[in-house]
Structure 1
Amino acid sequence: MTVMAEHTSQMSVGEFETTASAAPETVTLEFIDGRIEVKPVTDGDHNTIVSWLAKRCMQARPDLDLYAAQGLRVDAYRQSRARPDAVLAPEAHFAGYGEWAEPDGALMVVEVTPYDSDTNRRDRHERPAAYGQAGIPLYLLIDRDSGTVTVHSSPDRRVGGYRDARVTKFGETLVLPDPIGIGLDTEILKSHVR
């Protein structure tokens, strides 16, 4: 018989939300898997990529909005709080929500990798696990380190993560599957990496 170690959280969700609301604007805090994390400050290329994606999504699907840095309650078992770089949802979906919204209705979350030592753990492992468990249909990872875009689909709410992942190199056309159903020419992303 296998005995699983009990997960110990650094603080309660309420304590985290109080701490996050008091943090200065120069710091973005998240609470994933019971740990408080500081999300790296974005750079100009990072912001340009999010802006590029917003334009492409709005042109193809004017019924949707791309929300920058909308806080989400994810990973129900561990009561995590994440602030993706962007969340694609129906127009005005998050109107009336506070700082942390339920993930229901979010069609896709987007992360653009920063240049830091925690990218592998955070963006390639913890985030897809939390977003998949929350039932968000798509997780788009724009990975500036590897020069790829990965679309995670078919969320697994029971164990977390996604059943499918499709990797596309910068410069190729990427098709975002349903429920988005749009194509993206990723050539421009080559200009926004170090």
Structure 2
Amino acid sequence: MKVVAFARTLQGTGASRRLRKAGQTPGIIYGGTAAPELIALDGNALYHSLKKEAFHGSILDLEIDGKAQKVLLRDFQMHAYKQLVLHADFQRVDASQPIHTKVTLHFVNAEISPAVKLSSAVVSHVLNELEVSCLPGQLPEFINVDLSKLEAGASIHVSDLQLPEGVTALTHGQNLTVATASVPPGAAAAETAAE
């Protein structure tokens, strides 16, 4: 995805407030060997880009004054109630250096799992994103969590996930739970009464 930004020289609360009134969002690019750069982005375009999942989990081409660089969205601040992005942070990416970032999990096939079909279990998502390490070129937009074999009372852990090639989960030595299937107490009672 491509993002167009403009270099800015003025910084501080007053300068940022004037930028926002003009429809722009202040931001910064940091990381790599170059010094941090202050930038301004089109506020409306950035607001709509942030609604796309791919914008959060992809390497972006950030263009400043005709020069493009590879970056990753690291943080952003939203206004409490207005449709306004207050600030955005981007990190430069080196194609030869591994990056650490969070990737969204997509849960698929819950409706055909034995837990749901046979036991009327409720599938709970314990994690919604997973911290991973990989080279920038191997960064997945999302990771699928296949629930098709999930039994009632069972769980899916990080070790059960099929990670794309070159992607390593950063779980700090723990096999974290990703999803669980539990039968609600009311359903179990109704089943016993029926028997």
The TM-score normalised by the length of structure 2 is 0.29
| Bigger CA radius of gyration | 2
- Between 1 and 2, higher relative CO (CA 8 Å, sep ≥ 6) is seen in 2
The answer to which structure has the higher strand fraction is 2
The TM-score normalised by the length of structure 1 is 0.29
